[in-house]
Chains A and B, each alone.
Chain A
Amino acid sequence: MTGPLATVLIVASLLMAAWALVLLIANRPPGRSLWGGVAVFEVVMIAFVIWGLVSAFARQVEFPQLEFVLYLIGLLVLVPAAGWWVRAEKSRAAAAVLLVAFLVVPVMIVRVQQVWEMTSG
């Protein structure tokens, strides 16, 4: 779970956050290109979550599985939910909402990795 996909998502998320921050400062709502980025990001996230679930169920070692799965579900819904919430917002508030979502994602991925490491014999 500390694989390259997690790193890619953390970096991508921070880049998306920076992009949203630029729009926020420029007082502009997200345009087509940012929404395209959101879509691509979510596709990678879906791959990560599926891989995480498969790894979790295939794993033989004891670890907090429930917490792990809940974090993955949270990661799966966070960005689409934030996007849905501001789908019609035509102000910079939409960029601010995406900024918040893309700042929360890296924290949650780090937590996923920490929970994965919480093995107990």
Chain B
Amino acid sequence: MAEPTRRVNRGFGRVLVVIYAVFALAATARSFVQLVTRFDEAPVAYLLSAAAALIYIVATIALARGDRTSHRVATVAIGVELAGVLVVGAFSLVYPEAFPQASVWSTFGSGYLFIPLVLPLVGLWWLHRTRGMGEN
């Protein structure tokens, strides 16, 4: 990580954006299917699923843009993501019947190799490393 320009959307940041984009895609598609075909089964869980998708989309775009405002937006979005995966993960263990269909955050993202749990930590670490580098 010794690149002279350590911008949030360069180097490792490029990889991070792709991983976020994959989750944005997966979460959006999944929540779209849930909302369209089975919304009345568990409206709260499926709205949470949609919120997760939205947060991944915001985080992806903010990380990809990489200017100073986006850096702040990404930090907030990824902070919410971390809180979300912890709260939804714990809740889905205590009240499994409230989540008849898995969302990306159910049981701390176990259906996605726990990547949803690790990803926000990596994201916040990267944003911390690149703080103050996003000028333009």
User: In the complex, which of the residues B14, B19, B21, B25 contacts A93, with contact meaning CB atoms closer than 8 Å?
Assistant: B14
CA distance A91 to B3 in the complex (A): 10
B33:A70 contact, CB within 8 angstroms: yes
Residue contact B36 to A97, C-beta cutoff 8 Å: no
Are B29 and A96 neighbours in the complex by a CB distance under 8 Å?
Answer: no
**Chain A nearest Cβ from B70, distance in angstroms:** 16
In-complex Cβ contact of B12 among A64, A67, A93, A104 (8 A): A93
Q: How far is the CA of A71 from the CA of B32 in the complex (A)?
A: 12
If A66-B36, A93-B10 touch, whether A85 touches B29 (CB-CB below 8 Å) is no
CA distance A74 to B17 in the complex (A): 16
Question: Is A16 engaged at the interface, CB distance under 8 Å to the other chain?
Answer: no
- Which chain B residue shows the least CB distance to A70? B29
B15 at the interface (CB under 8 A from A): yes
On whether A96 and B15 interact (CB within 8 A), knowing A74-B25, A81-B21, the answer reads yes
A101 at the interface (CB under 8 A from B): yes
CB of B37 within 8 A of chain A?
Answer: yes
Within 8 A of B (CB), among A57-103: 64, 66-67, 70-71, 74, 78, 81-82, 85-86, 89, 91, 93-94, 96-97, 100-101
Q: How far is the CA of A101 from the CA of B19 in the complex (A)?
A: 9
Interface residue? B100 (CB, 8 A)? no
Is B96 an interface residue, CB under 8 A from the partner?
no
Q: Does the CB pair B18–A100 fall under 8 Å?
A: yes
15 example contacts (A-B, Cβ-Cβ < 8 A) are as follows A70-B32, A82-B18, A85-B14, A85-B17, A85-B21, A85-B64, A91-B10, A93-B11, A93-B13, A93-B14, A96-B15, A97-B14, A100-B15, A100-B22, A104-B22
Residues of A whose CB lies within 8 Å of any CB of B are 64, 66-67, 70-71, 74, 78, 81-82, 85-86, 89, 91, 93-94, 96-97, 100-101, 104
